[in-house]
Chain A
Amino acid sequence: MKSAVGGIAFGEFLILVILIGLSIAIMVLERHDPDHSPLVYIATPLRPLKNLAGAITRVRYLESENSILRGRLTELRYENAMLRERLQRSGQAEKLFEFAQDYPETLVFARVMTYLERRDGGGIIIDKGTGEGITTNMVVITSQGLVGIVTRVGYRASQVKLIDEPGYRVSAMVRRSRSTGIMSATADGRILMEWVAPDAPVSDGDTIVTSGMGLVAPYGIPIGVVAGIELEPQKFSQILEIRPCQDPRHLEQVAVILRSPPDFTRMLGKDKQ
């Protein structure tokens, strides 16, 4: 073993040559006749282990495929939800658009951006403002009825006071009997119609619409239906509880009537002149 071949110990050299020879034999046999390769005989007793290794590889592949498919499923679910949402929204917009075709006033369509807490002034913010010709006191509606009135205007957004918020008042009328009164809201969100004549024929389910008096809101916009009737303690008038024709807290699309209320002060001043 002390002799050396090119600086390599003979033992090492011999082992290297044998192993390389075996390796080359395996390579050649693997390529030309894989079915009769000596490795087949080594592999036969190892078949269960080979199967195990194959199973582990397959499981890993399936795991990775499963993970990809789960991701795809999540994507498709999201896409599906978005499409449904878009369909729903376009349905609402379509209704509003159809309604606008027949409506005599010019309307500006707006999307509800957010609902405000009462401490922030209440109401909703819509995505249209002075840029689209909106000014304060313009009436906001949907195809189902009255929503509220514009109270603040910015260039690209406006704040709308809803009909179920205290401070909002509009002259209203019972459609069937033409009895008039003033619609307002209580602090707890109930909508009432006051100052209705005590002998006015009103019954539950009667539709309440805007009367057009005061000229702020045009005539005939539905507000809701009568849900309760009571006589004022002094019996001077009836108080009607109104169930609104839509939930003003769940709106997505609205329309603003582009008609400013008349300035009575200026009108009266002109008459005096």
Chain B
Amino acid sequence: MLFILVVLALDLLLFSKIVIFGLSPDATVIIVVYAALRFGCITGMFIGFVVGVGQVAMMTTASGALPLASTLVGYLVGKFGTKVAYESALVQVVIIFLSVLILDSINLVWLEPKHFVFDMLRFSLGTAAYTAVVGAALAGVVSHLTERLV
């Protein structure tokens, strides 16, 4: 519960304020990817599912496909992302970029299949790139802080 609140608070209070060209980074993807890479695919799946359900339950605008999309992202990143050198910032950028695209693809197929291509080109690619950069930067900051604390 606390985890969902933290994610939603991060999304609402911080990420939705750093809007560029109408696009803002997706906090939930960053959290799910982080959990999946750090703790493996089962945790990734659970976190994805819980965050997705939390979003649908608490946000009237959230799509019903979010739990499925987040669960699959958590699973795929946990399964395959851990097999690559995910400590590298570039790899993290690629993983988060692909994760946002997977999440958005499932969402758009469920919500607006007719405008799938347009929405992917207009919104998803930009959001994916932006989220990837912000996520990689956050990961760098977190790992730097962790090293200093340890």
Contacts and interface: CB of A to CB of B under 8 A. Distances in A.
Contacts of B79: 8, 12
Interface string B125-142: 000000000000000000
Interface in B12-46: 12-13, 16-17, 41-42, 45-46
B41 A42 contact: no
Q: Lowest 10 CB-CB distances: which A-B pairs, in order?
A: A30-B64, A23-B68, A43-B57, A23-B67, A27-B64, A50-B58, A19-B71, A42-B57, A39-B57, A19-B49
Contacts of B57: 39, 42-43, 46, 50
Contacts of A23: 49, 52, 65, 67-68, 71
A57 interface: yes
A57 B12 contact: yes
A49 interface: yes
B56 A39 contact: yes
A22 interface: yes
A56 interface: yes
A34 to B, nearest CB: 8
A16 B49 CA distance: 10
Bin the interface of chain B by size: 20 to 34
Given A11-B42, A43-B57, A56-B12, 7 more contacts: A12-B42, A12-B75, A20-B68, A20-B71, A27-B110, A39-B56, A60-B17
B149 interface: no
B5 to A, nearest CB: 7
Interface in B57-83: 57-60, 64-65, 67-68, 71-72, 75, 79
Contacts of B101: none
B81 to A, nearest CB: 14
Nearest to B48: A19
Nearest to B72: A20
Contacts, number: 69
B93 interface: no
Interface SS of A by simple majority: helix
A12 B76 CA distance: 12
Nearest to B13: A56
Contacts of A60: 12, 16-17
B75 A27 contact: no
A183 B58 CA distance: 86
Interface string A3-26: 000001001100110011011101
A31 interface: yes
B58 A43 contact: yes
A153 to B, nearest CB: 55
Nearest to A8: B79
